Structure 1
Amino acid sequence: MPGTRKLGRATSNRMAMLRAMVTFLLEKGKIETTVTRAKEVRALTEKFITIAKENNLHNRRLALGFITKETVVKKLFDEIAPKYADRNGGYTRITKTGPRRGDAAEMCIIELL
């Protein structure tokens, strides 16, 4: 279930951060973040790609309620979801890159396959 990690933030701040990160991942295709954040973003991103596989008004409104940019929702439904039409999950890859300089947090790159 997505959203079980608190990530050291209040609920509203955490959801705003995750919404932004999911939006940027779908927009750019790749982002660099910590491993725990990447695992949360992966769960939410895969959920919305699965929703976007069936292109109807209800699913589009579900995506618009979470993803912050309308252009990214259009890209999700028109480009990203059809690419994964024959795939049952596993739309993202997390690659660890080593510790962050400063606080030694484990960093990684999360990208769409």
Structure 2
Amino acid sequence: MKHCNKNNHLGRISSHRKSMLMNMSNSLIIKKQIITTLSKAKSLKKYIEPIITKSKNNNIQSKRMVFRYLKNKKTVSILFKKNFDILRKRMGGYTRIIKISPRLGDYSKMALIELIGFNKINNNNNNNNK
């Protein structure tokens, strides 16, 4: 039976899955958006949203807690800088998943996952409307 199996295992062992999600979250924080499969994007959303919530408190303990998940000093310092105040003001829902056309090779569902507030197109439209 499949009771209480909430997380998607993605066909990987736990250590590989954790390192994959860690690397994808580092890339998402640095680049602000990445393209991946839909199932990986959904798993990444469940992984990164609590990390961003923990980064709202700018103290040593929260930095250590975030470093436990990301294991990259550069990414942690980027996450605690001023330009991430856009995400700190939000109550939740820091990421957006947009479905895009399937991959040509194996026709798997693809998605673009991005951090809300860093989209250049939406920010330019909001600035022009003011």
Instruction: Return the TM-score normalized by structure 2.
Output: 0.80
Gaps of 5+ in 1: none
CA distance in 2, matches of 1:44, 1:77: 18
CA distance in 1, matches of 2:35, 2:67: 24
- Residues 42-96 of structure 1 show CA distances to partners (whole Å, capped at 9, x for unaligned) of 1221111100001111110011111132111011011354222321111111111
CA distance in 1, matches of 2:8, 2:84: 27
Q: How does 1:4-43 map to 2 (within 5 A)?
A: 4-43=7-46
Coordinate RMSD, CA, aligned: 1.3
* Greater relative CO (CA pairs within 8 A, separation 6+): 1
Q: How does 1:1-113 map to 2 (within 5 A)?
A: 4-79=7-82, 81-113=84-116
Matched-pair identity in %: 37
Gaps of 5+ in 2: 1-5, 117-130
Matched positions, count? 111
Shift of 1:34: 0.4
